[in-house]
Amino acid sequence: MLNGQSPWRYHFSQNAALICLSLFFLPLDTFLVCLSYVASIFFSSHHATRRRIRRSSSFHPKTILVTGMGMSKGLIIARLFYEAGHNVIGADFEPYGIPVCGRFSRALKKFYRLPKPDEAHGAALYIQQLLNAVRAEKVDLWISCSGVASAVEDGQAMEVLNRRSDCKSIQYDVKTTATLHEKHSFIQYTESLGLPAPETYDVTSRAAVHQVLHKRAKKQYIMKSVGVDDTVRGDMTLLPRRTVSETYNHLANLPVSPQKPWVLQQFIKGEEYCTHALVVKGEVKAFVACPSSELLMHYQALPPTSSLSQAMLKFTTKFAARSGKHMTGHLSFDFLVDEITTERGLEKKLYPVECNPRAHTAVVLFNGLGEPMAKAYLSALVSEMNGTASSHTSENVSPQKPDRYYWIGHDLVVLVLLPLLELLLRRRSQSAFLSSLVSFLDHLLLWKDGTFEIWDPLPAWVLYHIYWPGQFLACILHKKKWSRINVSTTKVFGC
């Protein structure tokens, strides 16, 4: 994996190779798109389901605005509402003018390009354009699918829409978003609700770090930068290091200061899980949990009846209820499971280590649940809607036997091409390469791609043959270095 110290020629070659890879598969993928359109006439029931729902005299379609259409989570939510018979408007930023894949979805009635908040203009222009779209389309419900860098701005937009339109929002206000978004304030807030949390310290100097490490010598910690910093996001170095000098050397390379604070959090050695929940007025309306990792690109839901899933649902339910009726938005937690030896034997303890107050890509696991998911979201309008148009859901929606999801572009590179290159360079054994290839074939044959749908194939084609090649070309032209990408969220990790 390349980093900021890698020569520019390596980064150039990386971008150029991926553009060539896209061109190589262009004829095959174009044929598959055409074939999908034909096959959808005979094998897809999505359009028929939509027509059946809309013919019902008791059905009153709503206009839904979904932002974040370039990401898989935004696309999935738009498809759910389309399948449930509603009118869907899409919107997103389009960096460098490169069209995002969701713009071309058959689920959308119309798409709006939004200006991205920046230091020069703040979020004012973005919020105004969003308000203009809401008014022009007479939007009933705005569903925010924020990226990590625009979460607070969406909180600002929610407050403006509440004051200046009749549109309701699946989005927290600024204060709630900011509190949950940052790890240190989230942990403090969790403890204030009487819920368990790992030991966490705010540090603004290296001396403060050493002080904690000296006092808590029997524990290990990891450090995370407050705010978004791609260059250190994946750093999971355990502190203290093996020797005092190694600890000092590691901390010397970290820019810890009052202007750039960090969080020192207790390291919990255990399995990692993530959740996605829809919360409306303090109640959990939809929930799913799945195994997680630092860069999650494979989604497989835990059975909703499993003890772990139930424990995470219980935590989420308590968190939402104790936060109050103002809580309406997406709520995603990262959990670590610690194993503790007690008199009763080995017990598992659940620790929330991070909160994402926005939609999680795990929403892909709700694919095919259009009607119940639409009802769950529309419960946010329950005071404005008549009784026949919406039924207030008393139980949360959970996928019972969902498909498993992957992204073929990611797996092709990570599980096939890079291992093949390592094999040719004699850095990987034949058995390791074959194991990686078997994993790829398993995903290809038995899992589902998170972007591609037979009835809506164009977004996947655009993602791999317009959006990503455009981003790689932009990186070449602007000499931007990156270490990795997340295909599902279109996140480029700069270095």
Residue 187 has pLDDT above 60, yes or no: yes
- The residue among 356 and 224 whose pLDDT is bigger is 356
pLDDT at 431: 96
Distance (Å, whole) CA 495 – CA 482: 5
Average pLDDT over residues 175-200: 92
Q: What amino acid occupies position 461? A: W
Residue 341 has pLDDT above 80, yes or no: no
pLDDT at 234: 62
Residue 244 has pLDDT above 70, yes or no: yes
Q: What is the pTM of this model?
A: 0.90
Burial of 153 (C-beta count, 10 Å sphere; 0-12/13-18/19+): buried
Residue 153 has pLDDT above 80, yes or no: yes
Average pLDDT over residues 1-8: 88
Confidence category of residue 384, pLDDT binned at 50, 70, 90: very low
Task: Give the highest mean pLDDT range of 44-53, 70-79, 113-122, 348-357.
Answer: 70-79
Residue 99 has pLDDT above 90, yes or no: yes
Mean pLDDT (the chain) is: 91
pLDDT at 143: 98
Average pLDDT over residues 24-40: 96
pLDDT tens digits for range 121-137: 789 999 999 999 999 99
pLDDT tens digits for range 255-295: 888 888 888 888 888 899 999 999 999 999 999 999 998 78
pLDDT at 65: 98
**Close Cβ partners of 458 (under 8 Å, ≥ 6 residues apart):** 33, 104, 105, 106
pLDDT at 394: 56
